[in-house]
């Protein structure tokens, strides 16, 4: 496992470069768009809540000419996100990047969200990719992060995403799209930490810490600030390995400490 110095952001605003302008010694500004579900989405900081989506933690990993726009939204599948996607598309321009991560909610039974892994789910991902490319931007597919749900032996994680992860990898391979395999990366991290220590990455709250959770709260799906930062570490590691055009804009130096 890579050793990074995580960025622990409880709240904050980050101002990116204006589209089309040059910054960072003449480098042209561009945007990283993020499309996904609650594990990526920006979670509220007022009133105080411990939950954080990894997308809201990503901005500080990149140089000033890069702006991160997080359009991820809680509860979304590739099917239900379509309306938000239609609003995103006109914002994309040549030279931008788009990270697409779905799978947590595509297996939900309701008609508004359910998709089949090798049917409508794959078709939706394929359509996203093609539409990004039509905008002359670069799509990236990310597999879903794991849930902190363990098998009865407490030695390995239970697979809660099934064929949706397999399907995302297959689409990435067939369309020659950069893959950020966060399912594989987060599984390795969580299993290395074990059933107890891994709880520190997720939205688990002891009684009395937050007014909205007077009796505490247990959540093995959503991240906290520590977990969001660690997933960003892993995502940037995948970008460095698989997306050279974007890797050159990853910030160097002690914060964050990214191993190249």
Kindly tell me if the per-residue pLDDT of 17 is higher than 60. no
Within a domain: 104 = yes
**Mean pLDDT across 129-151:** 99
The alpha carbon of residue 161 and the mean position of all alpha carbons in its chain are separated, in whole angstroms, by 15
Within a domain: 95 = yes
Within a domain: 55 = yes
**Residue entry with tokens 């597919």:** 141
* pLDDT at residue 56 in the model: 97
**Mean pLDDT across 27-45:** 96
The alpha carbon of residue 60 and the mean position of all alpha carbons in its chain are separated, in whole angstroms, by 14
* Domains in the chain, number: 1
Within a domain: 6 = no
The pLDDT-based confidence of 192 (bands split at 50, 70, 90) is very high
What is the overall mean pLDDT for the chain? 90
**Mean pLDDT across 196-223:** 94
Output the domain CATH number for residue 76: 3.40.50.1110
- SS3 at position 43: coil
Within a domain: 252 = no
Within a domain: 161 = yes
Q: What's the N-to-C CA distance of the chain in angstroms?
A: 14
Kindly tell me if the per-residue pLDDT of 238 is higher than 70. yes
141 — phi, psi (to 5°)?
-100, 130
Q: How far apart are CA 172 and CA 3, in angstroms?
A: 27
74 — phi, psi (to 5°)?
-60, 140
Neighbours of 18 (CB within 10 A): 11
The pLDDT-based confidence of 113 (bands split at 50, 70, 90) is very high
Within a domain: 81 = yes
**Mean pLDDT across 91-100:** 99
**What are the angstrom distances between the C-alpha of 97 and each of 190, 193, 232?**
28, 32, 16
Kindly tell me if the per-residue pLDDT of 15 is higher than 80. no
**Mean pLDDT across 20-33:** 76
**Residue entry with tokens 């949706």:** 164
Lowest mean pLDDT among 179-183, 195-199, 256-260: 256-260
Kindly tell me if the per-residue pLDDT of 165 is higher than 70. yes
Domain range enclosing 236: 30-247
* pLDDT at residue 43 in the model: 94
Partners of residue 244 on adjacent β-strands: none
Q: How far apart are CA 111 and CA 26, in angstroms?
A: 49
Within a domain: 8 = no
208-217 pLDDT, tens per residue?
998 888 999 9
**Mean pLDDT across 32-48:** 93
**Mean pLDDT across 12-21:** 38
Question: How does DSSP assign 59-120, residue by residue?
Answer: GGGB-TTEEEEE---TT--TTTTHHHHHHHGGG--TT-EEEEE--SSTT-SSTTT---IIII
Listed in sequence order, the residues at least 6 apart from 8 whose beta carbon sits closer than 8 Å to its beta carbon are 225, 226, 229
């Amino acid at each position: 496992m890579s050793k990074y110095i995580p960025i622990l952001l409880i709240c904050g605003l980050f101002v990116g470069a204006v589209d089309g302008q040059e910054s960072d010694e003449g480098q042209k500004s561009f945007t990283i768009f993020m499309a996904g579900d609650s594990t990526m989405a920006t979670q509220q900081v007022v009133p105080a809540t411990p939950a954080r989506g990894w997308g809201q933690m990503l901005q500080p990993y990149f140089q000033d000419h890069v702006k991160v726009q997080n359009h991820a939204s809680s509860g979304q599948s590739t099917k239900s996100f379509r309306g938000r996607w239609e609003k995103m598309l006109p914002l994309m321009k040549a030279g931008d990047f788009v990270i697409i991560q779905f799978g947590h909610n595509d297996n939900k039974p309701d008609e508004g969200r359910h998709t089949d892994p090798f049917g409508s789910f794959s078709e939706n991902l394929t359509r996203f990719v093609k539409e990004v490319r039509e905008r002359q931007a670069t799509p990236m597919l990310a597999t879903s992060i794991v849930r902190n749900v363990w098998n009865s032996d407490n030695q390995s994680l239970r697979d809660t995403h099934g064929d949706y992860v397999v399907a995302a990898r297959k689409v990435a391979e067939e369309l020659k799209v950069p893959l950020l395999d966060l399912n594989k990366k987060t599984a390795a991290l969580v299993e290395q930490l074990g059933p107890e220590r891994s709880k520190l990455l997720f939205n688990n709250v002891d009684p009395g810490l937050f007014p909205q959770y007077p009796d505490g709260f247990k959540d093995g799906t959503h991240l906290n600030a520590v977990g969001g930062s660690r997933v960003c570490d892993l995502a940037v590691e995948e970008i460095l390995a698989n997306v050279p055009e974007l890797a050159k804009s990853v910030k160097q130096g002690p914060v964050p400490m990214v191993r190249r």
